[in-house]
A and B are shown apart, each in its own frame.
Chain A
């Protein structure tokens, strides 16, 4: 499973856009990029998943350049409730889906 590197923490303010970049230089051809959000005392929550280019849903956007060696999770107009740990994971879709979690990025949204 490809190793991922992401910032340990980021601070932002309400209403701003938050962009978290994850590096995954050893991503394999059949790997997908998945982001999870975890609030304190809760299990991780699936946010978004992509393979290439751009994916957007009601929560976030995921930008993946052509070489796929990195990806950026974009959270538009964050609120205080977006304060959480965000995990970037890379792995094949159907390899038993064993997920290897890195350290994640702790995002703090301030008023």
Chain B
């Protein structure tokens, strides 16, 4: 497995502001993803963070609202822009690693966001 860290671990923000979440991995990984988990719900994929190119967004998520950077193979950021209370969620990054001969996805600890 890999050590995946996220900053901040939690934050409380005012509506209309933006928050940038960082994801750091202790080894180089090709695939990195960002997920959202709304209160009491399952995880939903936001986008694939592509190194050296624009992120690939899932249906319902757009770059203007969730800009993503991936400057290298160990780091990515997700920005939640112009926040509203509906953006209150846990945001998680994940990476794909080869484990036991198969590719497996590992998750970071998450960033808990509350928007007032």
Residue among A41, A46, A97 with the highest chain B CB neighbour number at 10 A? A97
Q: Which of B61-69, B80-88, B99-107 participates in binding chain A?
A: B99-107
Neighbour of B48 across the interface among A41, A96, A100, CB < 8 A: A96
Q: What class of interface size applies to chain B in its complex with A? A: 20 to 34
* A42–B102 touching, CB < 8 Å: no
One digit per residue, 1 when the CB lies within 8 angstroms of any chain B CB and 0 when it does not, for chain A 78-111 equals 0000000001000001101111111110000000
- Residue B115 interfacial (CB < 8 Å): no
- Residue B45 interfacial (CB < 8 Å): yes
Contact (A99, B105) CB under 8 Å given A42-B110, A43-B92, A43-B110: yes
Q: What class of interface size applies to chain A in its complex with B? A: 20 to 34
Kindly provide the distance from the CB of B26 to the nearest chain A CB, expressed in whole angstroms.
Answer: 15
Neighbour of A49 across the interface among B42, B43, B104, B112, CB < 8 A: B104
* A98–B45 touching, CB < 8 Å: yes
Residues of A within 8 A of B100 (CB): 49
How far is A93 from B43 in the complex, measured between Cα atoms in Å? 19
* Further 20 A-B residue pairs, CB within 8 A, beyond A34-B104, A41-B110, A43-B110: A42-B110, A43-B108, A44-B107, A46-B99, A46-B104, A46-B105, A49-B102, A93-B103, A97-B31, A97-B96, A97-B103, A98-B45, A99-B33, A99-B94, A99-B105, A100-B45, A101-B42, A101-B43, A101-B44, A104-B42
